[in-house]
Structure 1
Amino acid sequence: MKPSNFKILAILLIAVFLVATSAIWIRLSMEVANNFTIGFSLFLAASRLIISALILIPTVYKIKPSQVSTKAFYYAVIAGICLAGHFASWISSLAFTSIVASTTLVTTNPIWVGLLSRFFLKEKLSKSAILGIAIASVGGVLIALGNEGNINSGSNPLLGNGLALIGAIAASLYLMFGTQAQKSGLSISNYILIAYSTAAIALFPLPLLFGIKYTGHSEIIYVYIALMAILSQLLGHTGFNWALRWLSPTFVTLSILFEPIISSFLGVIVFQEIPPLSILWGGLILLLGVAVAVTGKNQPT
C-alpha cells in the first residue's frame, strides 16, 4: 500500500538532511585530528563504507545467485568501485575547499550523467539539458573566482574544487552502473550490499599507503564516522532509494539539490564558515542550471 504523500515527503526531507550532515561530520573529524591530508580523508572514506558494509552483511542470505544474471553482479561491483572513487575524492575535497563549494559542485552529478549518457549510450541531450549545463558552467566559474583569496575558501580551493568535480563524475558513474545492476535483477538491498562492500574493500588499503592507521585516533572521531555511516549513508541514501519507489526520479533528484544549501547553513553554524557573496551566487546559479538540466532531461530535442 502506498504511504501518504505527507509521509513520503517527510522521509525524503529527512533523508536530504541526513545526507547533508555528512560534510559536517567529515570536517569535525579533520579538525579534531588536526589532519587535513588526503591520507586522513581516505581513512574517513574507507571507515564510513566499512561500517556500512558490516551492518549490511547479515542480509547476504537474501542474495540468490541462481536467480540473478552474472551481468548484474558485474554492474554492482563496478558501481562499488565508482562509489569508492566518489567518496575518496569528495571527502578529500573538504580538506582543501569550503563546504559550500564542495557540496555544491559534488551535486552536479545529474549533468555528468547526461553528458556520460550522451558519450557512452549515444543518448541525445535535450535543449533544456544543454541550457542547464551552460547555466551551471557559469555558476561553476563564479565559485572558482569567488574562492580566490578568501579566508573561508580552504587551503587549496582549486584542488578541492577539482576533487569535488571528480567526486561528482564518479557518483554519476556509480548511479549509471547501479541502475543497470538493478535493472538486471538485483534488489536494492542486494545491490547496496555488493556495492558498499566492494567500495570498502577497494578503499581499505589506501589510508595505509599514506601512513594513516585505522587505530589510535580520538574516540570522538570514531563517533563521527559511525554517524556518517549510519545516518548519512544507510538512512539518508536508503531514504532516497525508498522515495524513488513512490516519486519520480526527477522530483527526487531536484530535492537532493537542497543538500548543499543545508550543508552550507550547518557550516555557518558549526564552523562560522561564511562564504563570500560570489560563491553564494555561483552556487545558486549552478544549482539552477542542474535543475533546468534535470527537468528537461526527458523532453524531446
Structure 2
Amino acid sequence: MDNKLVQYFILILGTFALSTSAIFVKLSDAPSSIVAFYRLGFTFLMLFPFVFTNKKNLKQVRELTKKQFLIGGASGIFLSLHYLLWFESLRFTSVASSTVIVTLQPVFAFFASALIFKEKFSKQAIFGALISIVGCIIIGWGDFQISGTALIGDLMAFIAAGVITAYFFVGQILRKEIDVVPYSILGYGMSSVILFIYSILTRASFFNYSKLTWWCFLGLAFISTVLGQVIFNWLLKWVSASTVSMSILGESVGTCILAYFVLGEVLTLKQFIGILIILSGLVIYFIDNKKKSDKS
C-alpha cells in the first residue's frame, strides 16, 4: 500500500480511535494497572483467533526466530512500561499535564529516526512538528504545576513518552519481517503477562467492577487498541515511526472533542486555539512528507 493519501486517511481514523482512550479510562472505576491489563488482554484475545484463520499468520508464528521472539517480547515490555508510567503519573500530576507531556513523543522519534534509521527531515517537517507540539502545550499549559509531587508525575509522563517511542521503533523493525497479527499478539501477550504480575504484586482486584467499567475495558480493547494502535502497527510496514508519532499528536484534539460531547466538558478558547495550531502543524508536516515521497 504505497498511496500516501490512503495511508494518511487511515492514520487519521486510527488517531481518532486512539483518542477514545482517555474517555474510557475516565469513565471506568478500576485501578490503572487493571485498566491496562484488560485493555491489552482483551486485545490479545480478539486478535489470537486470526492466527488460526489465516495460513500465513499461522506459518509466521510457527516459524518465529529467536531474534523475532525477543524483539516482539521487547515491544511488549515497552508497551506495558509505558502504560504503567503514564497511568501512575496521573496520581501525581493533572490529566492535562500528563497527556500533553506523553504526546511530546515526536521529540524522541525525530532524534531516534536520525540516529537509528538515518532518516532526514526537512526544515518544513521540523517546523510543522514544532507547531503541533506548541499546540499541545497550549491546551495543557494552565494545568502545569510546579510542586515537587507534580514534577514526579511530569517526569513519569516524560519517560512514558520515550518508552512508547521505543515501542513503535521496535515495531518498525519487526513489521518489515512479519505481518501485523503475529507481531501484535507477541507484544500484547507479553504486556498482558507483565501487567498481570504487577497487578497481583500490588494486590489490585481483577473483578467486582461496574457494568460500565467492563464495557470501558472492551471499548479500550476494540476501539482504542484494535482500531487505533493495531492500525498504527499495521502501517509501520509502509510509514516511519516518526510519522506515526506525529499523527499521535492529534490524539489530544480528538480527546478534547470527545470530552465535550461525551463527558460534557467545556471546550475553552485556549483548547480551541491549541487544536487549530496542532492541526496546522500536522498539515504542514504531512504535506512536506507527501512531497518527499513523490520525489523518491
TM-score, length-scaled by structure 2: 0.74
Residue in structure 2 matched with residue 179 of structure 1 by the alignment: 172
Q: Number of residues paired by the alignment?
A: 282
Q: Does 1:221 find its partner at 2:217? A: no
Give the CA RMSD over aligned residues: 4.0
Matches within 5 A, 1:127-276: 127-128=123-124, 131=127, 135=131, 142=138, 145-148=141-144, 158-183=151-176, 185-242=177-234, 255-274=247-266
Give the aligned residue type for 1:178. Answer: G
**Secondary structure in structure 1 of the residue aligned to 2:207:** coil
Determine the C-alpha separation between the residues in 2 that align with 1:259 and 1:45.
Answer: 18
Distance 2:107 2:285 in 1: 7
Q: Which moved more, 1:284-293 or 1:44-53?
A: 284-293
Cα distance in 2 for residues equivalent to 1:56 and 1:187? 12
Segment of structure 1 superposing worse, 173-182 or 254-263: 254-263
Q: 1:242 to 1:119 in 2, by over 3 A?
A: closer
Question: 1:271-282 residue pairs with structure 2 within 5 A?
Answer: 271-274=263-266, 281=273
Matches of 1:110 and 1:181, distance apart in 2: 20
Contact 1:89 1:164 in 2 (8 A): yes
Aligned counterparts of 1:182 and 1:51: Cα–Cα separation in 2 = 22
- The alpha-carbon distance between structure 1 residues 255 and 290, as it changes in their structure 2 partners (threshold 3 A), is closer
Question: 1:81-116: per-residue Cα shift (whole Å, max 9, x none)?
Answer: 1111222223344554235x5444433323311123
Tell me the residue number matched to 2:40.
49
Decide whether the 8 Å contact of 1:146 with 1:278 is kept in 2.
no
Q: Quick check: 131-140 or 192-201, which moved more?
A: 131-140
Is residue 27 of structure 1 aligned with residue 26 of structure 2? yes
- Deviation by residue 1:110-144 (Cα, 9 ceiling, x = unmatched): 33111234455666665456556655665566566
Q: Would you say 1:97 and 2:94 are equivalent positions?
A: yes
Q: What amino acid maps onto 1:57 in structure 2?
A: F
Structure-1 separation of matches of 2:257 and 2:181: 32
Task: Tell me if the contact between 1:104 and 1:283 (Cα under 8 Å) persists in the aligned partners.
Answer: no
Return closer, same or farther for 1:232/1:245 CA change in 2, 3 Å cut-off.
Answer: same
Q: Contact between 1:147 and 1:157, CA under 8 Å: does it hold in 2?
A: no
Residues 137 and 10 of structure 1, relative CA distance in 2, 3 Å threshold: closer
CA distance, structure 2, for counterparts of residue 2 and residue 294 of structure 1: 15
Q: Distance in 2 between matches of 1:211 and 1:123?
A: 44
Matches within 5 A, 1:276-295: 281=273
Pairwise CA distance, 1:192:
0.4
Deviation of the 1:165 alpha carbon: 2.9
Give SS of 1:212's match.
Answer: coil
Partner of 1:37: none
| Change beyond 3 A, Cα 1:112–1:253 | closer
Structure 2, unmatched stretches of 5+, are 53-57
State the alpha-carbon separation in 2 of the partners of residues 181 and 57 from structure 1: 18
Letter paired with 1:172: T
**Matching residue of 2:16:** 17
Q: Does 1:109 align with 2:101?
A: no
Instruction: Rate the CA distance shift 1:81–1:201 in 2: closer, same or farther, 3 A.
Output: same
Q: Which amino acid aligns with 1:111?
A: V
> Structure 2: how far apart are the matches of 1:249 and 1:291?
17
User: Which structure 1 residue ranges, 5 or more long, are not aligned?
Assistant: 34-39, 150-155
Does the C-alpha gap of structure 1 residues 120 and 247 become closer, same or farther in structure 2, counting only changes over 3 Å?
closer
Which AA in structure 2 matches 1:83? L
Change (3 A) 1:282 1:2: closer
